[in-house]
Structure 1
Amino acid sequence: MTTIEVVAAYSKALSQGDIPKAFSHFSPEAKWHQPGNHQFSGTKIGLEAIGKMLGDMMGATQGSLVINPTGALLSNGSLVSFPVHFSGKIGGKTVSMNGVDLFEVVDNKIVQVWLFSEDQVAEDEFWN
């Protein structure tokens, strides 16, 4: 598989709600770098920590968190850039913005993910 195919397979499984299949594309020691200054910020190491964070985000938004691709996946060596739009609701607060997820793929497994938001302050306010 190419690096793009690995990330595309992860994204497809995630969009279908198949979390075990989505996580099968990750290295067990993967690192997820969540930006900002809010309850989910920081580096999560390993599938258990990453899964807990994503589950807690879905719980906080009562399942309303949606992440949609907005453009082509682009690669440069082991890195894949994935433009996205994400939205969600927590009580009376909403978020709807663009971002870029950057994946590092080694030996057909995602080993690191960095997220970038177009308005980190607004995202921080949403999650806090």
Structure 2
Amino acid sequence: MENQAKQIVTQFLTAVQQGDNQTLAALLDPAVEWEQPGENRFSGFKKDINEVFQMVGGMFAHTNNTLSLTKIKDIAVSGNSVACLIQWTAEGAAGDRLDVDNIDVYTVTAGKIVKAKIYSSDLEQEDRFWGK
């Protein structure tokens, strides 16, 4: 189970880096639960794949498509739970810059990501960058 969960999440993160929406959609459960931290326009609980894609689309629009998963620093597995230390960067329209590490915790069931909880190393930076 651990190897499958790690493989699914690794494929997911690689698809994020490559902008491969077809693979992303195939790896996310349609009823995925997604928790995005902070107090900004993208924060909060997303209850399905459509809300997740809407959030991510808004992030790319806000950054003129500069949002990038620049590094997958570490992946740790426990059963069907996979924790990932990753780095995101982006440029804002006003010249501001996002450079933040996140710890994402994914739950994998039956070959799909059914839950994601995102932790930010710098919520103040993210809230300022993403705005209200």
Structure 1 length-normalised TM: 0.94
When residues 39 and 31 of structure 1 are mapped into structure 2, their CA distance, relative to the original with a 3 A threshold, is same
When residues 114 and 71 of structure 1 are mapped into structure 2, their CA distance, relative to the original with a 3 A threshold, is same
Structure-2 separation of matches of 1:71 and 1:122:
20
Structure-1 separation of matches of 2:73 and 2:125:
23
3-state DSSP class of the match of 2:54? Answer: helix
- Identity percentage of aligned residues: 26
RMSD: 1.2
Show structure 1 runs of 4+ deviating over 2 A: 68-72
- Partner residue of 1:108? 111
Q: How does 1:1-12 map to 2 (within 5 A)?
A: 2-12=4-14
Greater Cα offset, 91-100 or 75-84: 91-100
Q: How does 1:72-111 map to 2 (within 5 A)?
A: 72-90=74-92, 91-111=94-114
Greater Cα offset, 117-126 or 8-17: 8-17
Structure-1 separation of matches of 2:8 and 2:102:
20
Q: How does 1:1-128 map to 2 (within 5 A)?
A: 2-90=4-92, 91-128=94-131
Structure-1 separation of matches of 2:108 and 2:13:
14
**Offset at 1:17?**
1.6
3-state DSSP class of the match of 2:22? Answer: helix
**Aligned AA (2:127):** D
**Offset at 1:44?**
0.8
**Offset at 1:62?**
0.3
Structure 2 length-normalised TM: 0.91
Q: Could you list the runs of 5+ residues in structure 1 that have no partner in the other structure? A: none
